[in-house]
């Protein structure tokens, strides 16, 4: 094997090693920024506990701060935190009396289910509506789809959730108001999965409608742009069926910006999950972060932010792989 051939075979591995190193550096940087931003907020866990108790002596407050390590200088706290991050140790939640990693592990499946369902719903439905709008560009169907997408895009997520609860839970009594399961029913197996699915419908649709509007508009715009390119005119001149052109040639090329948007929106979906999980009492990371913020449980909040950052990084790596699968012209290396 020649030297150039060996380098070519080695290049993809070197690229991914370099990318992983960069992403690890980014995660550590995010952890540092989160630490100092949260320390800028007034109050701490000791003050929250004192407020819940109604009153507290200065000695009791000092003892609490010593127990939580809040009496130490900021640089000492930062050094301990950074050392824990490098050892993949997320610390201990004194408010919950549990390790942060265990709390996140308990809530992560619920958030993963909610995010997976909402992203799938938004991606499939949004792409289908955008495809239909592009095929019917300038016709009433296109206008109706565009108006609906604009309506979903402009409506706040929490308001959509409240409206869906009123309509489908209060008026029609079709779906549960909140929670993840019917606790008193004691379901198991298939019955339990179906019960979770019934509780999942409203929060997943609520979280997905905003992103559905974005994917609809993006798919339509991308397809209309590709319809005007030379290789599409060539396919039409050869007599290729319009449906085949739309699916095999136009839609496939239009998916690249959609995949890019998907990678960028994971962070916003996590942010939206905080509102949705609070409205629907969904026991996920978003609701846990909301509770940790009000309780000033900084260790737990930093751990959730760290887990969210890692999730966004992993999704962006998956986007790089998807690029190469959708368009072989995109060279990952």
- Sign of the CA dihedral with 138 first, then 143, 144, and 146 last: positive
Higher pLDDT, 69 or 142: 142
Whether pLDDT at 3 is above 50: no
CA nearest neighbour of 251 among 131, 88, 95, 142:
131
CB-count burial class (<10 Å; 0-12, 13-18, 19+) for 9: exposed
| Alpha-carbon distances, residue 165 vs 108, 155, 205 (angstroms) | 24, 15, 11
Helices (H) and strands (E) in the chain, counts: 13, 2
Determine contact, residues 127/218, Cβ cutoff 8 Å. no
Q: Which residues pair with 92 in a beta bridge?
A: 99
Query: Residue written as tokens 């239009």?
Result: 254
98 has which bridge partners? 93
- Residue carrying structure tokens 């930093």: 302
In Å, how far are 108, 120, 225, 240 from 153, measured between CA atoms?
Answer: 27, 17, 22, 36
How far from the centroid of its chain's Cα atoms is residue 291's Cα?
19
Q: What is the CATH number of domain 106-326?
A: 1.10.3720.10
8 A C-beta contact, residue 94 and residue 303? no
How sure is the predictor about 98, in pLDDT bands with cuts at 50, 70 and 90?
confident
Q: Would the pLDDT of 10 be above 50?
A: no
Confidence (pLDDT) at 144: 92
pLDDT, greater one: 124 or 41: 124
Q: Which tens digit of pLDDT belongs to each residue from 229-277?
A: 777 788 778 877 877 878 777 887 788 788 778 777 776 677 777 788 8
Question: Per-residue confidence at 34, pLDDT binned at 50, 70, 90?
Answer: confident
Tokens representing 223? 């397809």
CA dist., res. 158 & res. 251, Å (int): 32
Taking residue 182's Cβ as centre, other Cβ atoms within 10 Å add up to 15
Domain boundaries, given as residue ranges, for the chain = 3-98, 106-326
The H-or-E segment that residue 98 falls in is strand 98-99
The DSSP call for residue 329 is: T
Whole-number Å distance between alpha carbons of 24 and 88: 12
pLDDT digits (tens, 9 = 90+) for 286-332: 888 888 887 778 888 888 888 888 877 777 777 777 766 766 665 54
Mean predicted confidence (pLDDT) in 88-97: 79
Render pLDDT for 166-176 as a digit per residue (tens, 0 to 9).
898 889 888 88
């Amino acid at each position: 094997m020649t030297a150039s051939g060996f380098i070519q075979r080695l290049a993809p591995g070197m690229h991914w090693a370099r990318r992983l190193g960069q992403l690890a550096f980014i995660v550590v940087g995010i952890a540092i920024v989160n630490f100092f931003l949260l320390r800028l907020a007034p109050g701490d866990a000791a003050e929250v506990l004192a407020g819940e108790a109604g009153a507290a002596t200065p000695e009791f407050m000092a003892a609490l701060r010593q127990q939580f390590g809040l009496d130490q200088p900021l640089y000492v706290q930062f050094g301990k935190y950074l050392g824990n991050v490098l050892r993949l140790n997320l610390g201990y939640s004194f408010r919950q009396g549990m390790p942060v990693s265990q709390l996140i592990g308990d809530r992560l499946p619920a958030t993963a289910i909610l995010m997976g369902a909402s992203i799938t719903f938004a991606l499939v439905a949004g792409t289908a509506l955008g495809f239909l709008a592009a095929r019917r560009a300038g016709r009433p169907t296109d206008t109706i789809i565009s108006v609906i997408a604009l309506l979903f895009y402009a409506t706040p997520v929490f308001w959509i959730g409240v409206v869906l609860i009123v309509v489908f839970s209060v008026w029609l009594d079709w779906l549960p108001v909140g929670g993840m399961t019917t606790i008193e029913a004691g379901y198991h197996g298939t019955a339990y999965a179906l019960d979770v699915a019934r509780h999942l419908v409203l929060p997943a649709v609520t979280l997905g409608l905003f992103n559905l509007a974005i994917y609809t508009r993006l798919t339509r715009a991308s397809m209309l742009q590709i319809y005007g390119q030379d290789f599409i005119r060539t396919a039409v001149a050869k007599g290729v069926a319009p449906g085949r052109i739309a699916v095999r040639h136009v839609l496939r090329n239009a998916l690249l910006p959609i995949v890019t948007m998907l990678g960028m929106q994971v962070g916003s979906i996590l942010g939206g999950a905080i509102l949705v999980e609070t409205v629907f009492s969904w026991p996920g990371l978003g609701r846990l972060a909301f509770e940790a913020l009000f309780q000033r449980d900084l260790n737990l909040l930093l751990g959730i932010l760290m887990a969210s950052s890692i999730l966004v990084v992993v999704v962006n790596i998956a986007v790089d792989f998807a690029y190469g699968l959708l368009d072989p012209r995109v060279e990952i290396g």
